[in-house]
Structure 1
């Protein structure tokens, strides 16, 4: 019986963490990270997605401008605040990746509008994609921290609350398992 437990594959999953970065010269202000290994297997994932204007000029105050999907640098993530996380099914993970592709200039629609299609709108759609509720907060669509705290409050049973500075939260994460290819392990 013990050999059955040893031979069973380890449980793996991708965790989606929602972050806010308060006002400053760095964008996006609301974004999410994906970290872990899909249950179906494959290489570990450790990435982030945010949405911002391609150029930070006064034009963003006047209407629609070119936008871009952005993968945050580790230092930017560490200087942000981790708000909450959700463990994704492989189907949800696939849907989130499809959403990111739909907002990417290379594969989808990358229009940015401060009032109608900004970083918080992107995070809102990602949250909707994974089944979170209580997402409509029109007065908070330019306030990343307040928006994510409102979403967390509406979804207490479906999320894991974090509310830690990024550097402290990142320090709690275990290393990702190396990918096994044949008999060779590839470190992260």
Structure 2
């Protein structure tokens, strides 16, 4: 009888821990970039984990950018795109902090990504609607405090360090 109880307790613990592991984490990344090597500084989100309701695996990332990189970006709005980073680039980025999302927040993030992707016309603006503004919208869905200081609008790593400081509950440290 003791073995049966032990087996049942072990089974219960396994089932309970599997349910507890069902969560989606949203990480906030920056890429230092280099004008010389064709990759400009950038910020984006990474979504990983498992949806609680369905058990579906989540492994996605999204960033907002100009469809074409050219000097036209400096003179006003240009066509936009949602981009995803390749695995080889993800390893070269700065992960600033991670938050856990509810299923409802995850679906709100996905809807917001679609809203930015499907916006009509020229939606990317270097100073008013760039990757920082996109990532800020995602951070707000997660309940984070967000600000957009003018001196950080083209400096994703500095901006994410600022967001880290605004949200001490994250327990994160600025990245050098």
TM-score, normalised with respect to structure 2: 0.83
After the TM superposition, which segments of 4 or more aligned residues of structure 1 sit over 6 Å from their partners? 162-165
Are residues 1:146 and 2:158 paired? yes
1:114 aligns to 2:122 (yes or no): no
Is 1:10 the counterpart of 2:19? The answer is yes
Partner of 2:112: 99
1:59 and 2:59 are equivalent in the alignment = no
Q: Distance in 2 between matches of 1:120 and 1:43?
A: 29
Q: 1:143 to 1:7 in 2, by over 3 A?
A: closer
Instruction: Using the TM superposition, name which of 7-16 and 34-43 deviates more.
Output: 7-16
- Structure 1: give runs of 5+ residues left out of the alignment: 166-188
Contact 1:66–1:111 (8 Å) recurs in 2: yes
For the structure 1 residues 42 and 141, does the alpha-carbon distance in structure 2 shift closer, same or farther, using more than 3 Å as the test?
Answer: same
The partner residue of 2:168 within 141, 156, 173 is: 156
- Distance in structure 2 (CA, Å) of the matches to 1:6 and 1:115: 50
Larger Rg: 2
Quote how far apart the aligned CAs of 1:130 are. 1.3
Looking at structure 2, the residues matched to 28 and 90 of structure 1 have their Cα atoms a distance apart, in angstroms, of: 30
RMSD: 2.1
Q: CA deviation at 1:77?
A: 1.2
In structure 1, the residue corresponding to 2:52 is in which secondary structure?
A: coil
Distance in 2, Cα, partners of 1:68 & 1:98: 15
Deviations 1:133-186 (A, max 9, x none): 1433232111101100010111121x2537679xxxxxxxxxxxxxxxxxxxxx
Please identify which structure carries the higher helix content. 2
TM superposition score normalised by structure 1? 0.78
Q: Distance in 2 between the 1:145 and 1:7 partners?
A: 40
* Whole-Å separation in 1 of the counterparts to 2:70 and 2:25: 34
In structure 2, the gaps of 5 or more residues are: 1-7
1:22 aligns with 2:35: no
